[in-house]
Structure 1
Amino acid sequence: MSFVAKIGAGFRRTGAFFSDSVKELKKVRWPNRKEMTSYTIVVIGTVVFLTLFFYFTDWVFSNLLQFILK
Structure 2
Amino acid sequence: MGKLMGFLKNVVSEMNKVSWPKRKELTRYTIVVLSTVVFMAVYFGLLDLGISQVIEWYVAL
Q: Same fold (TM over 0.5)?
A: yes
- Give the TM-score normalised by structure 1: 0.83
* Equivalent residue, structure 2, for 1:58: 48
Query: Segments of 4+ in structure 1 off by > 6 A?
Result: none
Question: In structure 2, what residue type is equivalent to 1:49?
Answer: F
- Give the TM-score normalised by structure 2: 0.95
Identity %: 38
Note the residue ranges of structure 1 that are not aligned, 5 or more in a row. 1-10
1:1-70 pair list within 5 angstroms:
11-70=1-60
Note the residue ranges of structure 2 that are not aligned, 5 or more in a row. none
- Aligned positions, number: 60
